[in-house]
Amino acid sequence: MKNKLIMTPGPTEIHETVRRAFLQPITNPDLDEDFYEFYLETCQRLKQIVNTKNDVLILNGEGILGLEAACASLIEPGDRILCLDNGLFGQGFADFVKIYGGEAIMLQFDYHRGIDVTELEAFLEQDNRFKLATLVHCETPSGITNPVDTICPLLNAHGMMTVVDSVSALGGERLKTDEWKIDVLLGGSQKCLSAPPGLTLLSISQRAWTQIQNRKTAIPGYYTNLAHWAGWYENKWFPYTQPISDIYGLRAAIDRWLEEEDPIQRHGLMARGVRQALLKAGLRLYPQDSFSNTVTTVMVPEEITFKTLFNEMKEEHHILIGGAFGYLKDQVFRIGHMGENCHEAKLYLTLKALNRVLNKYQVPLRGKLHHIFLQEIEI
Ligand SMILES: *Cc1c(COP(=O)(O)O)cnc(C)c1O
């Protein structure tokens, strides 16, 4: 495989310090108490990133494991679960709810916009008898960041727990887990923290722990059973051997994030620059509001197909851009500006290459994407 610049919305580019962290000698993570301290410290640093005092865990599996583990551990057959749906991940949450016997009540919103809190409030006035609600912080396929800062406190005020998929937002969007009353927050290693794919990051409130420990039915499954993690530090016992090298890598990525003064501000600035460049040049974005800090979703111009655009970017410029699945397949392309991708140089190269490809296929552009980008981020 030739080296490429991966500008997809996850996985992202990995910094050299993170790659080197993987080379460190390992120990036996079950028997060596030093590793329990290292794991705990890594979780404590994650707490700083997401502003929580809740327990944090790192699970051995890509982000999807977190979604499934939260549903497996919290949902019992017959539970009513509210699934907020303004995109593919919001809709997909219901599949996990159903696998574990929950009754998924879908509340659908406009797919082009952030979740409308007034609409949600009107719904909750009629019906709020739910054990928990699931929602997605950043809808990665459409490039929309939902206002979890107002949604979660509202759901909490109506008595239900909140499970938030923040896989593509954690590290790139402001996140105040405790202030916003998020019971279970889910993240992944491969998006804005820019470690390789393979780990789930999860925070879990006391209320959620209490629910898990007072179930009427047993949790079906082992790997997804969060109850096994209770007291891991006190008992010096992990449910399974920890992927120690992956955790070394994640730790290096977390430390890089924490060393920077304000990575979220950088995400905001770069995202705005990319959006303004595309819009001012005359391209159309998929979202109509609530633009994500971490991914930009653009309508494929009529002069070119997604396949051609993707291949030209890859073969001629060695840059990978994202497509989308489901109803967005072939309709949009996506530029990820997460973590290590979210830097001026990489975005400049990407937009310059994109400009070339679009010129080649006679897509009309007002100005050069990469030039507008530079102007916009100077402001
Ligand atoms: C990336 C991502 C996940 C993890 O899913 P994969 O498709 O396996 O990468 C979950 N939720 C969201 C919102 C994501 O962006």
Establish whether the linkage from the previous residue to 301 is cis, with ω within 30° of 0. no
Confidence at residue 2, expressed as pLDDT on a 0 to 100 scale: 79
Distance of CA 359 from the midpoint of ligand 1 (Å): 32
- Distance CA(258)–CA(281), nearest Å, equals 35
* pLDDT, averaged in runs of 10, over the chain (379 residues): 92 97 97 98 98 98 97 98 98 98 98 98 98 98 98 98 98 98 98 98 98 97 97 97 98 98 98 98 98 98 98 98 96 98 98 98 98 93
Pocket lining: 336 vs ligand 1, CB cutoff 6 Å: no
* Structure confidence at residue 1 (pLDDT): 76
pLDDT at 311: 98
Under 8 Å CB-to-CB from 137, ≥6 apart: which residues?
145, 146, 148, 164, 165, 166, 168, 169, 170, 173, 175
Asked if 146 contacts 320 with a C-beta cutoff of 8 angstroms, the reply is no
> Which pLDDT does position 203 carry in this prediction?
98
Ligand 1 neighbour 102 (Cβ under 6 A): no
Q: Determine if ligand 1 sits within 6 Å of the CB of residue 165.
A: yes
- pLDDT at residue 379, rounded to an integer: 65
Is any atom of ligand 1 closer than 6 Å to the C-beta of 322? no
CA within 13 Å, CB half, 235: 8
Q: Cα angle vertex 37, ends 33, 38, to 5°?
A: 110
Residue 169: predicted pLDDT: 98
pTM over 0.85: yes
Q: Which atom of ligand 1 is nearest to the CA of 166?
A: 13
Q: Is 297 in the pocket of ligand 1 (CB under 6 A)?
A: no
Whether ligand 1 lies within 6 angstroms of the CB of 140 is answered as yes
